[in-house]
Amino acid sequence: MSSAPDTVALVTTLAPRAKARPVIVQVLRNPVGAVCLVYIALVVVVGVFASMIAPMNPNATDLSMTNAPLFTDGYLLGGDSSGRDVLSRLIYGVRETLIGCVLVLGVSLILGVVAGLIAGYYRGTVERVTDFISDAIMTLPGIAFLIALYASVGPNMPLAMMVFGVIVAPTFFRLVRAVVVTVRGELYVDAAKVVGLSDVRIVGRHVLWAVRGPVVIHSAGILAAGIGIQAGLAFIGLGDPSVPSWGIILQESFQDIYRNPAGVIWPALIISVTILSFVLLGNVLRDVLQASGSAHTLRPARRRALVRQAKESPAEESVVSDDVVLSIRGLRMGYPDGPDSVHEVLHGVDLDLHRGEIHGLVGESGSGKSQIAFSILGILPAEAVPLGGSIVTGGVDVLRDDAGLRQVRGRRIGYIPQEPMSNLDPSFTVGDQLVYGLRAARKMSKTAARDRVRALLERVGITDADRVMTLYPHEISGGMAQRVLICGAIASDPDVIIADEPTTALDVTVQAEVLELLRELSLERGLAMVLVTHNLGVVADLCQSVSVMRDGEIVERGSVEKILSAPENPYTQELLTSSKSVELMEVGK
Amino acid sequence: MLLYIVKHLARAVGVFLTVTFATFVVMYGNGAGVARATLGMNASAQDVQRRMADLGLDRPLFVQYFDWLGGLFTGDLGRSYYTGQSVAGALGVRVPVTMSLIIVTLVLTVIISVFLGVAAAYYRGWVDRTVQVVAGLGAAIPSFIVAVVLVLVFAVNNPILPATGYVRPTDSVSGWLASITLPVISILIGTLGAAQIRGSVIDVLSRDFVRTLRARGISERAVVFRHVLRSASGPGIIAFGLLVVAMFGGTIFVEQVFALPGMGQLLNQSAQAGDVPMVMGCVLVTTIVVLVVNLIADLSNALLNPKARTR
Amino acid sequence: MRISKRRALAIVAAPAALALALAGCAGGGDQPSGGEKYDKLILGMTADLTGGWDIVDQPAYQAWGIEAVYQTLCRILPGGEYTPDAAESWEVSDDNRSFTAHLREGVEYSDGTPVDAASVEASFDVLKETASDRYGEITYDSPDDQTITITWPEAQPLLLDRVCTAKLASSDFLASADRDTQPVGSGPYTYDIDASTQGSIYQLVKNPDYWNADAYPYKTLELRVLADETASLNALKTGQIDGTVISSTVYDEAEKSGLEITGVQSGMLMIHLTDRLGEVIPALGDVRVRQAMNMIIDKQAVVDQLWDGHATPIWQPFQLNGQAILDIEDPYPYDEEKAKELMAEAGYEDGFTFTVPTMEGQPWTRLLPYLTEQLAKLNITIEQKALSGPDAIAELLSGDFPVPVWQVGAPTSVEDISIHVLDTGFWNVLHQPNETVTGLWDQIVTGDDDQRLAAQQEINQYVIDNAWFVPILSPYNYYAYDGDKVTIDEVTDPYGGHPTLIDFQ
């Protein structure tokens, strides 16, 4: 995995997150989640204590109350077509309905999760066989089986729900199997094996833990489906009329819909609301368990205010000269650490980049170097909040002028990312991506673009350009991918290149080649470059000038010779000392 | 690629045989009951025996199954025990009805849920929450309730659309559209909630290459619709495949409310009456449709996501 | 929504209940029958034809298609009258064993073959095979082409009913393999197979050569299968069809929509206490227990509340227009105290338990909760068992459930007796013998008209005195139709279910 800070890690280091609360608390903190959870809990309680809560026996009949309207004489929700109390029947009905749901969930969970764990862990024939069975079950018209079951044994909702559980088990199976396959490939599982942990322990501890999220979320969906299918089966006449259940109550009310139109409302309502609460609960669980780290979101109004403020604040005078291709003044930005506050990450950065200059941006992880790179390109993550400053290039302040940014990005400024494999679109061939990217930046025909791309690929050292253009990203090596990315960056003939740790993810031998390539390109085309790196050796090799970053500020800036031989700032000195032994040795001067 | 297709086909045939045999087993065993039911309450034991022999119900399970299987090759799906109607004939009338519901609903589902899912994933915030609640509501309200409400409001009380009946598209395209509008809406409301697009789009949006694409100067719209969707489509396509299976179940309710002469109704009645040839015919159709849809889904996935081709 | 209610009208009920109610509707052209009034009559059917177009003993419920296509020798009218159809005239032998029909001249089937003695014989042969318990032993004698005598080995009190239910079809047709799909009869209409879709729409075209063609004014008859009651009512409201049966629950709604409704009262909803000898449930062997069960039910309240007044309370187990009906008051009026006393007297105040079989779609199901509650007051516990699948009817009548609750009712009291009173009757599920009834039955079989009448009434009195049943109510059967298009002056269905084809004018 890359060592460059991605935004998730960044947020966690800069804005120390509170210790993750238990899931249930997180769910309760979400207003939707709280309402759903409380409602479901209420329903369960009602079901368990039905005999105490219900005003009367669900089968108690009073002929004079047939189809009685609301609030008549102790029949709070009115009477049904046989003269029974609707409310009591609904309350007792909870039990049947819940039992049915639990059965569906139980059967499908056990079958699906166990099968998924085994298949995903052991793979091979076991997986093939279970996969086949799962597909066969999923292809079965489940309803037909349930109807046939009814035809042979009569109405038996618990049995039918168990059969339905088998029918939906494959959904759990697929889910669990997919997660297990992924987790199994993780290093820590291999480590556990090496240490000698038994399979059962590995599965029980690590794999099961990874699977719990998706399984819990899916379970909510299955419970919702259970209620729905019970109502549906009763609707087409497969229910058991001697036992009060929501489905039966709904069906009976449908039969008398003309005599008592209002009678349909209560069962329909309670069924819909309960299903809805399970569905929404599932959504909340998904957000909580699979949260992408942003435990802090800014209130939309506050964000708007801050952004407006940043755009309207007076810009410092930046140098306007033909020689300066990129000029940053007072750049401030941050990430939210609460609904109203933002933790500042860049505290006013200044930078001037001259034509043809290769400028290194060094610092430790978390110092903010990548943030500057992303800010220039306007590709900060959505959570980032710009707080002030200006970035001028090609006569446009890209921080304040969105249209200007779109003009400049890709055309005047190019980007070389760090991790070659994950930065290429896996769905398109190399040639396709490069041609499309080029044509997005510069108007030209497809053929002209292809020719140009081919030439560039050869220039960056890919000999068999035609063949490589037909390959997909997963079919080429890391080194080749990085060259492709470089090609993509320079194809539109930009003036500035922002390179974010371009060699960090490459093998040592390939690193040297790529660095050489970058130097050549810069010389050939007069490219100015901002080279973000934590490796002083790279700086020494390639850059003419360097800025040293620490905690969101540039603490020292100057020519490479000066900084590396006679740094003034104590932090720079520290940096040099610790890296001298390691990195400078690698490259040599 | 060819090998991929052949492997998949072979597997599909295996699934087909398993499913049809399982169905047969479940339906088997009621020969005497069916024979008596076709003759009426007064049938004597001899009459019943005679009828059973006529219908071939006195043969062992495997013989009956293989007989049925053999019939498939000649296009003979048997005849209904009750009405003597040819199964193939009955299906020929009813399957297009159900399929027109399913196909139209599927197409609409794909289009609408892609838009809603992308919007929710992209804009997050209140857009996301609204879409989720609406989708949740749609999934929550059972389709037959929706169907009944729609009929009452749009057909009976305000005669805008027909309350019952199906018009073949070959007879009148506008009539056909009118007759399937309400049924499709009833099923559609439920399927919108089941789409997976939102989740996978959110996932893909946070990936590195999306950032790089933006940096290349590609427009937001192209980034989302040309690139992100492609990568996000995998789980979505699989989900849509599963949806077809669920929709077959949904058509049973909707066909009843709107009195559409479709396969769902046939399956319901036949299964309850023990009319095995009809049930097997319906299962044959659903199995083939599901297998074909899954095959198409897998192929589309392979087409759109090259990594998947290495499976 | 609900699959249509299955009417339980004696022999016809069961197969209808299991019929493949193939749903379907429409095809092209939903024009609200504008143009010529008598061009086309579109009727909705809530269940498909059972057994296709074959002439086996089909249930007569909603069998307009069969009525249209086939003739019978004679037709049964309500109240036990008979009118000629294919047979111009007939004689019945004194010993009630033979029926001699004189066939109309010059009548042909739709395939051109004549309606003659040979084809009648062939038609009855089919019944010999498929309904062998009733027709198995018949023999024929035909002196000429237009005369045929059918003879049973034993006297048949229901001779005319038997003869009149047999549909006539040509011998060629009967020999063919396609009996289910392409009918060949001699009725008022012919089946237009090209314009029809089995299971959803049946088109029938008027047969101008039918001897009574004037009685059927419509040139085309279209039958649409709409299995769901609400769907069929919706179709009627929106003008897609001209008429359909409706249940009493939607009576008000239909009325509100401006539809005409005609109603016929028919059938008896009763609890059949078939274990009068107490073999299975000892308590039921005591007449006082059975009487108590009668007195614990408030029939009027049931009619008023559960049936919205669309029924009449009854206390005699026979059709209200039947010959067996006596002019008496309710012998077991509603009286909870008296009922409890009777139970105590009989020594069964601790009550007992029995299981009531139920089936999906039965209209009386809404009565069950009330029954359960009332009988519980006598410590009698009712359990329910829902029957399903193709074996349902067989199970229902097997004797496993000695106390079924069911609606029965045949065109004549004699038939009623043969079905639910006589020990051989299939609704007398335990088939317990009873000398009195059997003796009186002999009188019906062999006696003259006066003796028959007396015997029927005596049987009625006997079963009432011995509380063999708990009769509850006789419901109204309703048929809703578009009054502007269709006129229905009378309903000639002997089963009292709905208008027959000839009633649509």
Buried b (16+ CB within 10 A) or exposed e, C189-226: bbbeeeebbbbbbbbbebbeebbeeeebebebbbbbbb
A289-298, A306-315, B215-224, C280-289, range with the lowest pLDDT: A289-298
Give the model's pLDDT for residue B128: 83
CA A485/CA A418 separation, integer angstroms: 10
- pLDDT higher than 70, residue A80: yes
- So what's the ipTM on this one? 0.85
Nearest to A423 among B30, B140, B208 (CB): B208
Subunit partners of chain C (3 or more CB pairs within 8 A): A, B
C133:B42 CB<8 A = yes
Nearest to A426 among B256, B290, B305 (CB): B305
- pLDDT higher than 70, residue A584: no
Give the model's pLDDT for residue C317: 94
Residues of B in contact with C231 (CB under 8 A): 163-164, 256-259
Residues of C in contact with B27 (CB under 8 A): none
Q: What is the distance in angstroms between the Cα of A43 and the nearest Cα belonging to chain C?
A: 26
Please say whether the beta carbons of B144 and A268 come within 8 A. Answer: no
CATH 1.10.3720.10 maps onto chain B at 95-310
A285-289, A579-583, B146-150, B212-216, range with the lowest pLDDT: A579-583
Fold classification of B95-310 (topology level): MetI-like fold (1.10.3720)
pLDDT digits (tens, 9 = 90+) for A174-190: 888 888 887 777 656 67
- pLDDT higher than 50, residue B299: yes
pLDDT mean for each 10 residues of chain C (505 residues): 29 30 31 64 85 72 87 84 88 87 88 88 85 83 89 86 86 76 86 82 90 89 85 86 89 89 91 93 93 94 91 93 91 94 92 91 88 93 88 86 92 90 91 93 87 93 95 93 87 84 87
B247: pLDDT confidence band, cut at 50, 70 and 90? confident
The residue whose two tokens read 């401006």 is C258
Q: Can you give the three-state secondary structure of B233-289, one letter per residue?
A: HHHHHHHHHHHHHHHHHHHHHHHHHCCCCCHHHHHHHHHHHCCHHHHHHHHHHHHHH
A410:B217 CB<8 A = yes
B151:C234 CB<8 A = yes
A51-65, A371-385, C49-63, range with the lowest pLDDT: C49-63
Buried b (16+ CB within 10 A) or exposed e, B241-268: bbbbbebbbbbbbbbbbbbbbbbbbbbb
- pLDDT higher than 90, residue A163: yes
Read off the pLDDT of each residue in A343-368 and give the average, rounded to a whole number. Answer: 88
Q: Which domains does chain C have, with CATH numbers?
A: 71-177 (3.90.76.10), 268-475 (3.10.105.10)
Residue C52 token pair: 């296709």
Buried b (16+ CB within 10 A) or exposed e, C91-128: eeeeebbbbbbbbbeebebbbebbbbbbbbbbbbebbe
Read off the pLDDT of each residue in A115-132 and give the average, rounded to a whole number. Answer: 88
Given CB atoms, is C98 within the 8 Å cutoff of chain B?
no
Read off the pLDDT of each residue in B94-123 and give the average, rounded to a whole number. Answer: 89
pLDDT digits (tens, 9 = 90+) for A231-255: 888 888 888 888 888 988 988 888 8
Which residue in A532, A531, A533, A437 sits closest to A493, CA to CA? Answer: A437
Give the model's pLDDT for residue C174: 82
A272:B206 CB<8 A = no
Beta bridge partners of A324: A354
Q: What is the distance in angstroms between the Cα of B265 and the nearest Cα belonging to chain A?
A: 10
Q: What is the distance in angstroms between the Cα of C336 and the nearest Cα belonging to chain B?
A: 37
Give the model's pLDDT for residue A17: 42
A258:C388 CB<8 A = no
Pairing of strands C260-265, C469-481: antiparallel
